[in-house]
A and B are shown apart, each in its own frame.
Chain A
Amino acid sequence: MTSETLPILSLITLSPFIGAVILLLQPERWYLPIRLTALSFSIISFLGSIIATLYYDSELGGFQFNEYIPIVQSLGIGYHLGADGISIVLILLTSFILIAGVFASWTIPFRSKEFYILLLLLVTGVFGVFVSLDLFLFFLFYELAVLPMYLLIGIWGSSTKIVAKGPFARAIMDMGLGSKEYGAMKLTLYLLFGSAFILVAILGLYSFSGLKTFDYIALEGVILPSSVQNWLFLLLYVGFGSLAGVWPIHTWSPDGHAAAPTATSMMHAGVLMKLGAYGIIRLGMGLFPDAAQTLAPMIGTIAVINIVYGALGAMWQRDLKYVVAYSSVSHMGIVMLGAATLNEMGLNGSVLQMFSHGIMTGLLFALVGLIYEKAHSREILQMGGFAKRMPGIATFFAIGALTSLGLPGLSGFVAELLVFLGAWKSSHSWWLIPAVFGAFITAVYALRVLKWIFFGTEKEPEINHKENPNGLKDAIGVEWIAPIILSAVLIVVGLYPKPLLKLMDASVIDLLQRVLK
C-alpha cells in the first residue's frame, strides 16, 4: 500500500520547509507568487494529511507509515517517523489551520515574504512533532515550532495600550506591558523555559533507561522505577504544560496571543498549545505510565482550575483578542481534564477537544483579525451593532462563539460532553462540578461578546472615523476563505463526529492499557 511506497509523513512534514526555501529565493516585491508558493506547499501538506487519514488503518491501530533512517547510530538518534490515530487527528487539524492561516494573512502589509517563510518553518516544526517517534527528533522539531514565533510576533504583531494602576504602575509600564515586544519576549522565554525542562527529562530518560537510544518504541518497553518516573513526568508536565497553557504557567498566553498577528494567533492557539497537550499525552503518559496514574489527580485538579480561571479571566477582559486568548486557556483545561480522567471516553474527548478547539479558536482569531482590520479597534465596549454592517462576519463569529460554549450540533459539544462524561466516570467525579461551572461562564462571556459587538445599539470606535472614512464593511474576496473552511469543519464534525472518533479510538485504548495495565 501507499505506506510502503510513499514516505507520506515526510512529505507532509517537509513540504512546508521546501516551500520556505523556495520563498527564500524569490524577491520581496513578487506579491502574488509569494502567496501562491506558500499556498501550494501548504496544499501539498494538506493533501498528504488527507491521504494519511484515509489510508490509516484504524482497525489495526498503533503506529503506521513508519519511516526510519539512522542519523547518529552511536548515540541512538534516528529519523524515525510514524503516526497513530491521535497524531493523525492533530496533523489534520494542523493542515486545516495552515491553509486557513495562509489565506488569513493574504493581506499582510509589509515584509510578507519573511512572514510566510517563518510561518512555513513553524508549521514544519509542528508537523514534525506530531509524527516523530524519536525523542531527539521530537525535541528538534519542537524547538523549530517555538522559535519563529518570536520574530512573527515581534515584527508583525500589534501593541495595545494598557494603563497600569496601583503601586507598581511605573514598573509595569517600564516593562512595556501590552506592547508586541513584551508579548513576544514573554512568550518566547516561557516556552524556552519549558523546553529546558523537556530537554532535561529526555536526557534523564536516556541515561536512566541505559538503552543508549532515543527511539520512542524502544523506550516504551522500559519500565523505570516509579520515583524516577514521577520526577521525569513532572519535568515533562512543567515543560509541555508551559506550552499547553496549564495554570499557573499560562500567563504568556493572553499577552502573546493578543500581540500576535492573525495567522500567528491562529497557529499558536490553534495548534501550538495542542502540541503541549500532545507532548504530555504521548511522552508523559506513553513513557511514564505509572507516574501518569499516580499524578493524574494533580493534573485533573489543575485542569479544572484552568477551566474556571480561564473562563473568569475571559469574562473580565474588554479587549476582544484577550477574551479569545483567555478562552483558550479555559478550553485547554478541558483537554487536560480529559487526559487526566484516564478512561476511554475522557481521552477520546480530550483529543477531539484538541481538534475542535484548534479549529474554533483559529476561526475566532481569524475573525478578530478581520474585525480589527475594518474597525481599527479591539475594544469590545466601543463597538456595537456590527451585524448590520458585516452580516457575514457576524454569522461566522456566532458559529465560533456557539462552538465555544458547546452548542449541540457543533464539534465543541461532542468533545466537551465526552470529557464531562469521562470525568464523571473517573475516580474523581467532583471534577465535573467546576468543569460544568466553567462551561457555564463560557456561555455567559461568549454570548455577551456576541451581543455587545454585533447586536445592540450601533457604535463605532472613535479612531475609526479618522482612519477609515468609508465605514465598516463586510469581508471581501480572499478574506472569506478562512472562515468558510473552518466553520464548515466545525459543523461537519459536530454533526457527524464518528469517523474522527473511530480514527483515534484504537490508539487511545492502546495508550490507556499501558497506563492502567
Chain B
Amino acid sequence: MFKLLTLEIALTIGIFVIFLLDLFLQRETKKILGYLSFLLLIIVLGISMSKSIYGTAFSGTFVSDSFAVTMKQIFLIATGLAVLGSISHTEKKLKGREGEYYLLLLFSLLGMMITVSSRELLLLLVGFELMSIPLYVLSGFDKENPRSVEGALKIFMFGTVSSALLLLGIGIFFAATGTTSWLAEQPLIGLNDPLGNLALIILLAGFGFKIASFPFQFWVPDTYEGAPTPFVAFLSVAPKIAGFGILFRFFFEALEPLASTWTIYIIWLSALTMIVGNLLALPQRNIKRLLAYSGIAHIGYILLGLASGSKFGLEMSVFYFVAYLFSNMGAFFVAEVVHRATGSDDLDSYSRLYRRSPFLSLAMLVFLLSLGGIPFVIGFWAKLYIFLAAAEAGYIFIVFLGALLTVVALSYYLNIARKMYIEEGIKETSRISIPIDLKISIGISTLAVIVLGLYPKGVVWLAVKAISNFQ
C-alpha cells in the first residue's frame, strides 16, 4: 500500500532533511538548500518513472494511475524549474530566508501531488489547502514591498473564500449523494438532481478561484505584480495545472452523468475567460501584469479542452499544460533578469533588448511566439490541438472566437517583440549579464519550447498515456 505513496513519502523525507539542515546551517551556506531542493526533485522525478507505483490505496480513496503520475511529473518539472530559477534571487534578496522559501515551495508541491491522486473530497480539500497556504505566504515574501503585501492579502482573501466555497460544495455533494468519495462505477448524481447540480456549480466556483477563470481572476495581476518573480513563474503554472487536474478527475469520474450540464457551464466560462484575459492584457504596461492577463486567457483555452467533454479534449489539454509550463515560466524568468538589470518591470525596459543581450531577447521572442501560438514552437500545436478537439465536439463558434482572440493576443505579444527588436530611441547599450541559474532555466525552457515544437509527437504520446485511464 505504501508503495503507491513512494513519491509523497520520498518528498516528505526530503522536506524534513532540508528543514533540519536549515536549522543548523550557517547564514552563508544556506544557498546549498536550493541545490538540495533541486536534487530532491530530480530524485522524486526519477522514482516516478518506476512502474510499481500504480494502483489504489486506502479503500480506493487514494489513486495512483497514469493520469496522477503524469500530472505529478509535470508538477515536479515546474517546481524544479522554479527552484533552479530562484537560486540567485533568494541569494540576493532573501538572504537567510532561503530555507523557508524552498520549504514552502516543496510543501505546496506536496499538496498538489495529493490532490491529483485523491478520489475523496475531504482528502482533496486537505491537499488543496496544503497546496494553497504556502502560496499565500510566498506571495508576501518580499516584506519590504507594499505591493507584495497587498498581493498576498488578495490571494489570501480569495483563496480562503474559495476554500469555504469548496467546503460548502462538499457539504451539498454529501447531502445529495450520501458520500464524499466517488469510488464505485455507478453514477452518484442523476441528471435532474437539483442538489447535485447546486453542488456542481459551487464546486466549480471553488476550483475556479484556483485556476483563476472568469469571474474569479481579480487576484491574479496584483499578486503577480508584487510577488518575487521566480515564484510567480511557479504560481502562474503549477497550481493552475493542479486545479485542472482536480477538475478533470472530479468532472470526468464523479460527475460524468452530468456531462451535458457542465460542458455548457465550462464552455461559457472558457469563452468569457478568453475574452477577459485577452482584452485586459491589451492596455498593460507592466510585463508581469501583461503575462498575468495573458495567463488568464490561456486558462480559457485550456478550459475549452475540458469543455469538449471528450478524452481527446483532455489529452489536448494535457498537451497545453506542457506548452504553457515552459513558455510561461520562461517568460517570467526573462522578466526577472530584465528586472534585475533595469530595476523595472515596465515594458519600456525591453527597448532594444536585442542590443543588450541577444540571448535573452531571442529567448523572450521564442516564449512570446509560443504563447501567441505561432508555428514551429510548442504553443502553436497546443492551440491547434485544443481547437481541433473543440471543433470535433461541435463548438465551431467558440473555436472561431478563440482564433480571433489569438490575433488580439499576438498584438500585445508582438508589441514586446517590437520593443525588443525594432524600437529606436533609448540609447542604453550596457550588456545585461544573466546569472548562471537563470541562464540554465531560461535555456532549458527555450530548448523545450523549440524542440517540442519541432517534435510534438513525444508530448502527444505523454498526453495520451495520461488520459488513458479515463473512460
Contact = CB atoms under 8 A, between A and B. Distances in A.
A95 to B, nearest CB: 23
Contact of A155 (B387, B414, B422): B422
Nearest to A235: B400
A150 B414 CA distance: 9
Interface size class of B (residues with CB under 8 A): 20 to 34
A204 B376 contact: no
Interface string A154-193: 1100000000000000000000000001001100110011
Interface stretch (B72-80, B228-236, B335-343, B389-397): B389-397
Given A200-B399, A206-B391, A207-B394, A151 B407 contact: no
Contacts of B417: 150-151
Contacts of A200: 387, 391, 396, 399-400, 403
Nearest to A190: B407
Nearest to B388: A203
A71 B454 CA distance: 11
B117 to A, nearest CB: 28
A188 B399 contact: no
A263 B92 CA distance: 49
Contacts of B375: 139-140, 143-144
Contact of B407 (A144, A196, A203): A196
Contact of B422 (A181, A196, A197, A206): A181
Given A140-B376, A203-B388, A203-B399, A155 B457 contact: no
Contacts, number: 73
Interface in A112-170: 139-140, 143-144, 147, 150-151, 154-155
A199 B422 contact: no
Interface size class of A (residues with CB under 8 A): 20 to 34
A204 B397 CA distance: 10
A154 B418 contact: yes
A318 B8 CA distance: 73
Interface in B421-446: 421-422
B184 interface: no
B452 to A, nearest CB: 14
A476 interface: no
B404 A196 contact: yes
B388 to A, nearest CB: 6
A75 B315 CA distance: 13
Contacts of A147: 374
B104 interface: no
Determine which residue in B376, B403, B457 has the highest number of CB atoms from chain A within 10 A of its CB, and name it.
B403
A72 B457 contact: yes
A189 B410 contact: yes
B406 interface: yes
A144 to B, nearest CB: 6
B460 interface: yes
Given A155-B422, A206-B391, A189 B399 contact: no
A185 B412 CA distance: 11
Contact of A185 (B396, B403, B404, B411): B411
A234 B350 CA distance: 40
A196 B278 CA distance: 15
A51 to B, nearest CB: 28
Contacts of A144: 375-376
A205 B403 CA distance: 16
Contacts of B374: 143, 147
Given A185-B411, A192-B410, A200-B396, A151 B376 contact: no
B460 A72 contact: yes
A226 to B, nearest CB: 17
Given A150-B414, A154-B422, A155-B422, A204 B407 contact: no
A207 B410 contact: no
B348 to A, nearest CB: 15
A140 B454 CA distance: 12
A178 B200 CA distance: 54
Given A154-B422, A188-B414, A204 B388 contact: no
Interface string B443-471: 00000000000001100100000000000
A41 to B, nearest CB: 19
A147 B399 CA distance: 22
A449 to B, nearest CB: 31
A193 B404 contact: yes
A207 B395 CA distance: 10
Nearest to A212: B392
A140 B383 CA distance: 13
A150 B418 CA distance: 9
Contacts of B380: 143
B422 A207 contact: no
A207 B392 contact: yes
Contact of A196 (B403, B414, B456): B403
Determine which residue in A71, A143, A144, A207 has the highest number of CB atoms from chain B within 10 A of its CB, and name it.
A207
Contacts of B456: 72
A307 B414 CA distance: 33
A184 B414 CA distance: 11
Contacts of B399: 200, 203-204
B416 to A, nearest CB: 12
Nearest to A198: B403
A147 B414 CA distance: 10
Contacts of A154: 418, 421-422
Contacts of A196: 400, 403-404, 406-407
A290 B387 CA distance: 26
Given A143-B374, A155-B422, A203-B399, A193 B391 contact: no
A75 B380 CA distance: 15
A435 B457 CA distance: 51
Contacts of B457: 71-72
B414 A185 contact: yes
Contacts of A72: 456-457, 460
Nearest to A157: B422
B396 A207 contact: yes
A189 B407 contact: yes
A75 B411 CA distance: 30
Interface in A61-76: 71-72, 74-75
A189 B392 contact: no
B422 A151 contact: yes
A188 B369 CA distance: 14
Determine which residue in A150, A193, A203 has the highest number of CB atoms from chain B within 10 A of its CB, and name it.
A203
A154 to B, nearest CB: 4
Nearest to B399: A200
Nearest to B460: A72
A487 to B, nearest CB: 34
B423 to A, nearest CB: 8
B120 to A, nearest CB: 34
Contact of B403 (A150, A151, A188, A199): A199
Nearest to A199: B403
B358 to A, nearest CB: 11
Interface in B14-46: none
A24 to B, nearest CB: 11
B422 A192 contact: no
Contacts of A71: 457
A234 to B, nearest CB: 12
Nearest to B405: A196
A69 to B, nearest CB: 13
A1 to B, nearest CB: 32
Nearest to A139: B375
Q: Which 4 A-B pairs have the closest CB atoms?
A: A196-B403, A203-B391, A154-B422, A207-B391
20 contacts: A72-B456, A72-B457, A140-B376, A150-B414, A151-B417, A151-B421, A184-B418, A184-B422, A185-B411, A188-B414, A189-B410, A192-B410, A193-B407, A196-B407, A199-B403, A200-B387, A203-B387, A203-B388, A203-B399, A207-B394
Interface of A: 71-72, 74-75, 139-140, 143-144, 147, 150-151, 154-155, 181, 184-185, 188-189, 192-193, 196-197, 199-200, 203-204, 206-207
Given A154-B422, A184-B422, A203-B391, 9 more contacts: A147-B374, A184-B418, A185-B418, A192-B410, A196-B407, A197-B403, A203-B387, A203-B399, A207-B388
